[in-house]
Amino acid sequence: MTKPTVLILCTGNSCRSHLAEGILRAVAGNILDVQSAGSKPAGYVHPFAVKVMAEIGIDISGHRSKHVNDFLNKSVETIITVCGNADQACPVFPGQVNRHHWGFYDPIKAEGTDEERMDVFRRVRDEIRRVFEAYGAGRIDQHKQSTTNF
């Protein structure tokens, strides 16, 4: 059975969408094909995003920045946008059944020392973690109910 694809979108696909992808994949990657992309990909994953995820035991160092157009011909079951610009620029996917928008502050905009900026990345990571762990747990519950024989 093919796992349903959940596509997490952000404008640059350099930070928030990768944080969410890593967390959701860690929680529900056994039942979901979790991907991320951007409407205007930055071409890199921010090093602070990689560092704050490593702090919680999730390795996103192999992630790469991708364009949403890479997914237009793929079967996408759920779209989740994590920034306002991506929500407004989100294309319609054929057969798409679910769409959610959960906006988060862009930690790349943080100013100050590296440690102060890392603190902002950690705060946003933790906010994303709460939302996506709950979403993943809900999807696991749905999956269990749909595969249980009564």
Residue 90 annotated among the catalytic residues of the structure = yes
- Buried/exposed code over 3-32 (b: 16+ C-beta within 10 A; e: otherwise): ebbbbbbbbbbbbbbbbbbbbbbbbbeebb
The backbone torsions φ and ψ at residue 39, rounded to the nearest 5 degrees and listed phi first, read -75, -25
**Residue of 32, 50, 82, 90 with catalytic role:** 90
**Residue of 8, 10, 24, 45 with catalytic role:** 10
Cα–Cα distance for residue pair 82/100, rounded to 1 Å: 9
Residue 10 annotated among the catalytic residues of the structure = yes
Residue 15 annotated among the catalytic residues of the structure = no
Report the run of H or E that residue 8 belongs to, with start and end: strand 5-10
**Residue of 83, 86, 120, 124 with catalytic role:** 83
| Residue indicated by tokens 């759920």 | 78
Q: How far is CA 74 from CA 70, 95, 146, in A?
A: 8, 10, 24
Residue positions annotated with a catalytic role: 10, 83, 90
